[in-house]
Amino acid sequence: MYRVLFAAMFASAVIAAPNLAVAHSAQRFVELSVIDDSGRTLKTYPAASEAHDLLRTYLQAEPGARYRLRLHNPNGERIGVVVAVDGRNIISGQRSELAAGEAMYVIGAHRTQIFSGWRTDSDHVQAFYFTDKEDSYAGAWGDYSAMGTIAVAVFREQRAVHDYAQRDEAPVHNAPSAESSGAPSGHRERKSRTLDEQQAGTGFGERRWSQSRRVRFAAVERAVFRQVVKYEWRSSLCRRGITACGEGNRLWPELGYAPYPPGYTRPRW
């Protein structure tokens, strides 16, 4: 039975045993938003997905901006979520395959959780912020295999567990620490580079208060839903044609040629 982190200190109701039949393809198991420190939701752009249980989107990253992940569970059962940024599990810091055996957060039925950084102990995280790949947390380990991605895998619970995560239960101070997760000892000095020439990544920012506790959660073997956000600088999204860049000018047309007027027969030579 896996031991995972419960991300907020609130009472949880007794949960009935979930139906472990294959999930309906139209069901959304989690709603992910990327927000800034003011709570503003950052705009995303849809991308093609290869499977019904995978949602892919693009997001514009702003250099140096802090961001947080808001996950809402719209269902009547609690879920486990493996969250990886740049391919690294945000609890353990280890390379993530979005698998059931990894450290994961538990989100109660109809609850919303906000994750603001890399967890270094049961009460603190180091803030997420957009930076270049050389300054990123993943880059600190020489891992550039999944740069510029925010990924969530959702796992249902194997069976009911009866309200063992009550508000009045004392926190267990044995969450992954900086030592056990291999976290960098401190924020590294950022190299002077042109961001347009760099892949976007997520840094290991300032320490923030974020209380958690460990709870028991037996995850099913296979994720029922996955979402991957690919974040890139505006210049990169422009080059890809994902977002329209530049504002039109009435006296400076983009094409530079006069169009044929309506009804005019265009010559064939």
pLDDT of residue 25: 37
- Higher pLDDT pick, 83 / 186: 83
* pLDDT digit string, tens, across residues 123-166: 999 999 999 999 999 999 999 999 999 999 999 999 754 433 32
* pLDDT digit string, tens, across residues 167-207: 332 222 223 323 233 334 344 444 444 555 578 999 999 99
pTM of the model: 0.72
Residue 108 has pLDDT above 50, yes or no: yes
Q: Torsion over CA of 196, 201, 206 and 212, rounded to 10 degrees?
A: 150
- Higher pLDDT pick, 10 / 146: 146
Residue 5 has pLDDT above 80, yes or no: no
User: Which residues contact residue 79 at a Cβ distance below 8 angstroms, ignoring those fewer than 6 apart?
Assistant: 29, 30, 73, 106, 107, 154, 155, 156, 157
